[in-house]
């Protein structure tokens, strides 16, 4: 098998509040494991003491993200606001970052503390031994969220933390690390909820929805994590063809390929944030890569298919999919769905234009009504999964869905609907 070339190339802290995690099962969050991650020094950071991490996810996919984490080896998972807490050893942490198709980031908490002011935020952050994570010649970036707290401006909170880190190094050596918001050496995450703060390392090294295979895009592209969720919710496993008759830039098709072929979602990522952790183990990482590669399988020609009325969209999809292993086995055609003779005994996944691409709501409603008629009369024996970024347009399809599931992603408050076609 051809290798995928996934990778070419004793300080005093404030009291650590386990309950600050807002986990819905506090007994799990407070439970301390017998063995901390392998490290040559006394554990300094919260994740080293507990082996506990946080997976950020989009609203509406907690259940399937929970199952994905379980399948990848996570333990003691419990839901929280916009994500899931879980326990993992280092190999599992690496595996989740590499293979999760649904999580957007995996963070490792450095410290958790009560935080009622920016002054206390800065005083506490200044006690972190930043030189264990970063040096003056490297770069860093900070993402921040603030919810129901006295500190109510996320950008200002991030700026305060940035100033602390810069001053820390300037006081030590007279030099300071720089900010790089696109490709830093170290991603940090600051989350303040109900006046309890968590400063974490982003072990993913930037959002995991950026797979790397989508080098070209159309207007209003679907996020890869949302597309992966749709494929997972369809329960498609390759026992029948999968078709997207309005494929756009091919994101649903690409995620279907990764799912069927068992290709790790982040296989093209060259650097992960966990490589900045003090206990990073390159040999263990190589073993995780080898194990993942051994599970990859080929895609039979014709199993995944797509089409679009827009020739530019088809060309873009072809370019993106050809960047994936087995991508050339996905068949694409430039045609409107109205000219497709029939789609029988297949799984149909689709993100029809709903206003952003069509420019007005009336055109979107008319298109969906026509597509509903197409599904009813020409897709017998198939099951369709339609995602719409505007829920009110769902009634335009004119069919009764078996179920509807709200899905939020990338600023879209959308819905996925399942239609069983007889």
**CATH number of the domain bearing residue 160:** 3.30.2130.30
Q: Are residues 60 and 145 in the same domain?
A: yes
pLDDT at position 220: 60
Tell me whether residue 160 is in a domain: yes
- Higher-confidence position of 303 and 183: 303
pLDDT at position 361: 61
Residue with tokens 């006046």: 195
Distance from C-alpha of 285 to C-alpha of 142, rounded to nearest angstrom = 25
- Strand, coil or helix: 52: strand
Tell me whether residue 351 is in a domain: yes
Q: Are residues 195 and 231 in the same domain?
A: no
Tell me whether residue 279 is in a domain: no
- Do 193 and 376 form a contact (C-beta atoms < 8 A)? no
Residue with tokens 């006295």: 150
Tell me whether residue 327 is in a domain: yes
Sheet hosting strand 178-179, strand order edge to edge: 75-80, 83-87, 52-56, 105-114, 196-202, 186-193, 139-147, 178-179
Q: Are residues 365 and 231 in the same domain?
A: yes
Q: What is the CATH number of the domain that holds 407?
A: 3.40.50.150
Q: Are residues 241 and 150 in the same domain?
A: no
Q: Are residues 239 and 169 in the same domain?
A: no
Length of the chain: 422
Tell me whether residue 9 is in a domain: no
Tell me whether residue 214 is in a domain: no
Distance from C-alpha of 295 to C-alpha of 6, rounded to nearest angstrom = 14
Q: Are residues 187 and 230 in the same domain?
A: no
Distance from C-alpha of 212 to C-alpha of 193, rounded to nearest angstrom = 32
Q: What confidence tens digit (pLDDT) does each residue in 371-387 have? A: 999 999 999 999 999 99
- Higher-confidence position of 408 and 204: 204
Q: Are residues 339 and 406 in the same domain?
A: yes
Least Cα distance to 177 among 188, 162, 190 occurs for 162
Distance from C-alpha of 53 to C-alpha of 89, rounded to nearest angstrom = 10
Q: What confidence tens digit (pLDDT) does each residue in 65-92 have? A: 999 999 999 999 999 988 999 999 999 9
Q: Is the pLDDT of residue 273 over 90?
A: yes
Whole-angstrom CA distances from 192 to 80, 124, 410 are: 14, 14, 21
Q: Is the pLDDT of residue 39 over 60?
A: no
Domain membership of residue 134 as a residue range: 18-202
Q: Are residues 65 and 187 in the same domain?
A: yes
Mean pLDDT of 277-300: 96
pLDDT at position 91: 98
Q: Is the pLDDT of residue 351 over 90?
A: yes
Backbone φ and ψ for 133, nearest 5 degrees, come out as -115, -20
Number of compact structural domains in the chain: 2
Residue with tokens 């995602």: 387
């Amino acid at each position: 098998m051809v290798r995928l070339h996934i990778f070419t190339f004793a300080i005093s802290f404030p009291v650590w509040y386990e309950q600050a995690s807002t986990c819905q099962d506090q007994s799990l969050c407070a439970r301390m494991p017998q063995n901390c991650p392998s490290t040559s020094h006394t554990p300094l950071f919260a994740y080293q003491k507990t082996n506990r991490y946080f997976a950020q996810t989009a609203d509406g996919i907690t259940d399937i993200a929970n199952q994905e984490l379980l399948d990848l080896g996570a333990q003691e998972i419990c839901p929280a606001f916009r994500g899931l807490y879980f326990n993992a050893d280092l190999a599992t942490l690496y595996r989740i970052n590499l293979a999760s198709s649904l999580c957007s980031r995996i963070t490792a908490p450095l410290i958790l503390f009560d935080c009622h002011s920016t002054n206390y935020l800065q005083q506490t952050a200044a006690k972190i031994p930043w030189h264990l994570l970063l040096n003056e010649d490297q770069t860093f970036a900070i993402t921040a969220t603030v919810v129901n707290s006295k500190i109510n401006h996320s950008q200002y909170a991030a700026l305060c933390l940035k100033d602390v880190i810069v001053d820390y190094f300037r006081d030590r050596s007279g030099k300071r690390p720089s900010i790089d918001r696109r490709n830093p050496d170290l991603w940090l995450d600051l989350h303040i909820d109900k006046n309890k703060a968590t400063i974490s390392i982003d072990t993913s090294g930037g959002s995991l929805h950026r797979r790397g295979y989508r080098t070209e895009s159309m207007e209003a592209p679907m996020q890869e994590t949302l597309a992966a969720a749709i494929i997972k919710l369809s329960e498609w496993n390759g026992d029948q063809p999968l078709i997207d008759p309005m494929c756009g830039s091919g994101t649903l098709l690409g995620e279907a390929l990764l799912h069927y072929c068992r290709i790790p979602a982040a296989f093209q990522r060259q650097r992960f944030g966990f490589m900045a952790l003090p206990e990073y183990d390159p040999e263990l990482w190589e073993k995780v890569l080898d194990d993942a590669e051994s599970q990859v399988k080929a895609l039979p020609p014709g199993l995944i298919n797509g089409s679009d009325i827009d020739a530019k969209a088809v060309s873009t999809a072809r370019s993106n999919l050809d960047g994936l292993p087995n991508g050339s086995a996905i068949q694409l055609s430039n045609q409107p769905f109205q000219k497709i003779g029939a789609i029988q005994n297949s799984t149909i996944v689709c993100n029809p234009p709903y206003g952003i691409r069509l420019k007005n709501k009336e055109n979107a409603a008319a298109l969906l009504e026509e597509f509903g008629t197409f599904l009813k009369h020409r897709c017998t024996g198939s099951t369709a999964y339609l995602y719409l970024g505007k829920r009110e347009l769902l009634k335009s399809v004119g069919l009764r869905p078996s179920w509807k599931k709200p899905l939020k992603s990338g600023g879209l408050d959308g819905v996925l609907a399942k239609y069983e076609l007889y």
